[in-house]
Amino acid sequence: MDTYKGSGVSPGIGLGKFYVINNEIDFSIPKKLSFKESQSKLDMRYEQLISELEKENREDESKVLDAYRLLINDPEIVEMVDEDQNLTEIFQVFKDTSDQMLSFEDEYFKQRAEDIISIGKEIIFTMQDIVTDKNLTEDVIIFADDLTPNDTSSIDLTKVKGFVVSNAGPTSHAVIVAKNLGIPCVINFDISKIDTDFDKSVVLDGDTGEIFLDPTSDVLKKVEEGLNKINKLRESYNQDSIKDLGIELRANIGSSEEINAFNDDHIKSVGLFRSEFVYIDRASKPTLKEQIEINNELNTKFSNTIVFRTLDIGGDKQVPYLNLPKEENPFLGVRGIRYSLDEKDLFREQIISILSSDLIDKVKIMFPMVSILDDFLDAKKIVTEESKKLNVNPLL
């Protein structure tokens, strides 16, 4: 048995056969689609994946793909690509952009550099018209240098019992998929240390980051016994036992239809109210009265806490009447709370609609995409000012 160590980022124990995903680009494969055709095809594929993820309430993953769609169509990158360039030159554009982001001191941008490389690979694979369909016949632990959305969408994730990804950060696509699906995941491990012909079992500890290749019979026995116990416990957790455990299900609301779909019989709280739907798909800005009416309707459906996220919108979501700026680089643009602080009248009106509605006794206010403390403090100050005027005391 050989033991290795990486960084555990998604907890749990996984047991499965060693399985390598090699998504390195073979530049000798000729291109069959133009860059623009590849852009369009990949954008539509991501749009379809986002729709499927949203139906499954996998919002974190859909947000990552939303960001990927922005990158696919990023004007800065598009401007640097020439259709006459060969595949190596086109990928180099993404590599150079990634290297530039790696040079930033901010850890957020360093992690986004990995996304740029993933997008570059997806573009090249699409230009080569490569179709990947990885048929898994047994439980596996997947090892990869990195994992693109195409990788994770083309495999049967029910057979994936763990991920080991060399080039991934805590907020990368692969890690978010792992966390959402309860799959153990380890990063910061050089998979080149392992012979790709290795054809035996692997035990993965997503808590400690330990990787056990070809585990001994004693280790296998203990792991299998532990996994069997966990599976039996899961099977025994019926609705009544979940109530006894004190686990609370909360709604994720992002449309008027979703408000109407719920009642207080089963789900009594809202874990996230995504308020931007109130502003999108309209010819004009909602009035204060309209906003209060929506908030009051929300209040009638839920008796417990409602987490209300203020307007999460930016250059990627074009709302004609708001005159949103078209961002050259969406990651560096005005989004989330930054947009609200630039448009204080709009933000104040939304805060007033919350504080003036029947939600006031149960609402908690969340600010989206806060990247620096000053943004939070500025937003909180506005809430405090409006609260004093209305003589109420909301929770932030």
**Pairing between strand 210-213 and 201-205?**
antiparallel
Is residue 52 domain-resident?
A: yes
Residue type (1 letter), 9? V
- CATH number of the domain that residue 45 is part of: 1.10.274.10
**Whether residue 380 sits in one domain with residue 255:** yes
pLDDT score recorded for residue 96 = 92
On whether the CB atoms of residues 35 and 90 are closer than 8 A, the answer is yes
**Whether residue 141 sits in one domain with residue 111:** no
pLDDT score recorded for residue 347 = 95
Is residue 274 domain-resident?
A: yes
**Whether residue 381 sits in one domain with residue 309:** yes
pLDDT score recorded for residue 383 = 94
**Whether residue 121 sits in one domain with residue 159:** no
pLDDT score recorded for residue 387 = 92
Tokens of 253: 């609301």
**Whether residue 261 sits in one domain with residue 214:** no
**Whether residue 270 sits in one domain with residue 209:** no
Tokens of 291: 């906003």
Is residue 239 domain-resident?
A: no
Q: What is the pLDDT along the chain (396 residues), one digit of tens a residue?
A: 888 999 999 988 999 999 998 888 899 999 999 999 999 999 898 888 888 888 777 777 788 888 888 888 888 888 899 888 999 999 999 999 889 888 877 666 777 788 888 889 999 999 998 876 677 889 999 999 888 887 887 788 889 999 999 988 877 888 888 888 889 999 989 888 888 777 889 999 998 899 999 888 888 888 888 888 877 776 665 555 555 666 778 888 888 878 877 766 668 889 999 998 898 877 788 999 999 999 999 998 888 899 999 998 765 556 777 766 665 555 555 678 888 998 999 999 999 999 999 988 899 999 998 888 999 999 999 999 999 999 887 665
pTM: 0.56
**Whether residue 201 sits in one domain with residue 120:** no
Tokens of 201: 């079992």
**Whether residue 251 sits in one domain with residue 384:** yes
Residue at a domain's end among 200, 231, 262 = 231
**Whether residue 385 sits in one domain with residue 262:** yes
**Whether residue 327 sits in one domain with residue 297:** yes
Helix (H, G, I), strand (E, B) or coil at 204: strand
Is residue 138 domain-resident?
A: yes
- CATH number of the domain that residue 303 is part of: 3.20.20.60
Residue at a domain's end among 79, 108, 127 = 127
- CATH number of the domain that residue 183 is part of: 3.50.30.10
On whether the CB atoms of residues 128 and 32 are closer than 8 A, the answer is yes
User: Which residue's entry shows tokens 């699409």?
Assistant: 126
pLDDT score recorded for residue 35 = 92
> Residue 53 contacts by C-beta under 8 Å, 6 or more apart in sequence?
59, 61, 62, 65
Residue at a domain's end among 127, 157, 184 = 127
| Angle 98-99-102 from CA coordinates, rounded to 5° | 90
Tokens of 302: 């839920």
Q: How many domains does the chain have?
A: 3
Is residue 238 domain-resident?
A: no
**DSSP assignment, residue 194?**
S
Distances (CA, A) of 225 to 202, 207, 214, 222, 235: 16, 18, 17, 5, 15
Give the domain extent around 82.
35-127
Is residue 396 domain-resident?
A: no
